[in-house]
Amino acid sequence: MLSGPSGVGKSTVLARVRSLVPGLWYSVSATTRPRRPGEIDGVNYHFVTEEQFAELVAQGRLLEHAHFAGNHYGTPRDAVEQRLAAGQDVLLEIEVQGARQVRAAPGLGPEAVLIFLAPPSFDELARRLVGRGTEDEATRQARLLAARTELDAEREFDHRVVNTDVQSAAAGLVQLMTGSRPGSPVG
């Protein structure tokens, strides 16, 4: 499971990790957040309405869910459970409240490996968020406020990787996830 404050580079680093580890299964979350330019429904997220999200929660179809900076996010339960039942590893990219729920889930939490992707500094995090250019000022402020709390939760995680440069951060994640170095056989 990978967490870390908004703008630290989780999506960017994971895209690289996925190119280094073919076949790694990644859980596509449901969210009520509006789609960003370039995002594809069913690939980056399942984009749903508030009503659809509430229904997923009511039907117990989310493994975990959280409200983050004005939007709802959750992990579809069935797909993850099917992969785990088949003995496959699954990768979740979720914020801290969700990571805590997974950690507390019987039969799931004890096995889960929690990795925190940290920024080199808070100022650099703020710069990346501005540089991405996908949020207005109010939304950026909400995300940076959440980031303060998330950075405080870092010690709850099993491992910490600092995203100074994408290549090294991805290599660090690959090593933690597979116990091997990129380029050598995985599994």
Residues engaged in binding ligand ADP (CB under 6 A): 4, 6-12, 128, 131-132, 163, 165-166
Among 75, 117, 118, 119, binds ligand 5GP (CB under 6 A): 75
Question: In the chain, where do the E strands start and end?
Answer: 2-3, 25-26, 30-31, 46-47, 62-68, 71-76, 90-91, 115-118, 159-162
- Judged by beta carbon, residue 36 or residue 181, the one nearer ligand ADP is 36
Is the CB of residue 6 less than 8 Å from the CB of residue 143? yes
Nearest approach in angstroms of CB 117 to ligand ADP is 7
* Nearer CB in complex with ligand ADP: 89/135: 135
94 binding partner (options ligand ADP, ligand 5GP, none; Cβ < 5 to 8 Å by kind): ligand 5GP
**CA pair distance 50, 29, nearest whole angstrom:** 14
Residue 68, binding choice from ligand 5GP, ligand ADP, none, Cβ under 5 to 8 Å by partner class? ligand 5GP
d(CA 53, CA 14): 25
Instruction: Characterise 7 by phi-psi region: left (phi > 0), alpha (psi -120 to 50), beta (else).
Output: left
User: What is the signed CA dihedral for 47, 162, 116, 2, rounded to 10 degrees?
Assistant: 40
**Among the residue ranges 69-77, 79-87, 114-122, 165-173, the one whose residues contact ligand 5GP (CB under 6 A):** 69-77
**Closest to 34 in 3D by CA, of 47, 22, 19:** 47
Q: Which of ligand 5GP, ligand ADP, none sits in contact with 29, Cβ below 5 to 8 A by type?
A: ligand 5GP
Instruction: For residue 64, state whether it binds ligand 5GP (rule: CB under 6 A).
Output: yes
Residues 6+ apart with CB under 8 A from 108: 63, 84, 102
As measured in angstroms, the least distance from the Cβ of 127 to ligand ADP is 8
What is the rounded end-to-end Cα distance, in angstroms, of the chain?
17
User: For residues 59 and 184, which CB has a smaller minimum distance to ligand 5GP in the complex?
Assistant: 59
Residues at the interface with ligand 5GP (CB under 6 A): 6, 10, 29, 33, 64, 66, 68, 73-75, 93-95, 97-98
